[in-house]
Amino acid sequence: DTGVSQNPRHKITKRGQNVTFRCDPISEHNRLYWYRQTLGQGPEFLTYFQNEAQLEKSRLLSDRFSAERPKGSFSTLEIQRTEQGDSAMYLCASSFSGANVLTFGAGSRLTVL
């Protein structure tokens, strides 16, 4: 297992377009988290899954954002009708439930023009 994998690493899109990011967590981990990181800031929590169930969503996750983890393995984060304010690094992390150690992926950087 090579850790948490995120794709694509960088996405450039025009305002109004839809984008989708994929996260493949460490296979034994049943929890998966999405965070957003803007320049000069720490990661901000967006949502997390335990297996396929989405257990918590931040108020940062507007209606234009949707996350899924259909089979409890990989997850996708879709942003519809992108805005320039969506430009950020989207980080995925995974862990065992009941454990405090998060393993982060390298992130997917979104640039909205």
Among 75, 79, 86, 107, binds another protein (CB under 8 A): 107
In the region spanning residues 51 to 80, those forming contacts with another protein, defined by CB under 8 A, are: 56, 58
- Interface with another protein, residue 43, by CB under 8 A: yes
31 scored as a contact of another protein (CB under 8 A):
yes
Provide the sign of the torsion angle of the four alpha carbons 41, 39, 23, 66, taken in this order.
positive
Count Cβ atoms within 10 A of the Cβ of residue 47 and give its class: 0-12 exposed, 13-18 middle, 19 or more buried: buried
Query: If binding is defined by CB under 8 A, does position 97 make contact with another protein?
Result: yes
Nearest one of 102, 110, 103 to 85, comparing CA atoms? 110
Tokens 């984060």 label which residue? 77
Q: Interface residues with another protein (CB under 8 A)?
A: 4, 31, 33, 40-45, 48, 50, 56, 58, 91, 93, 95-107
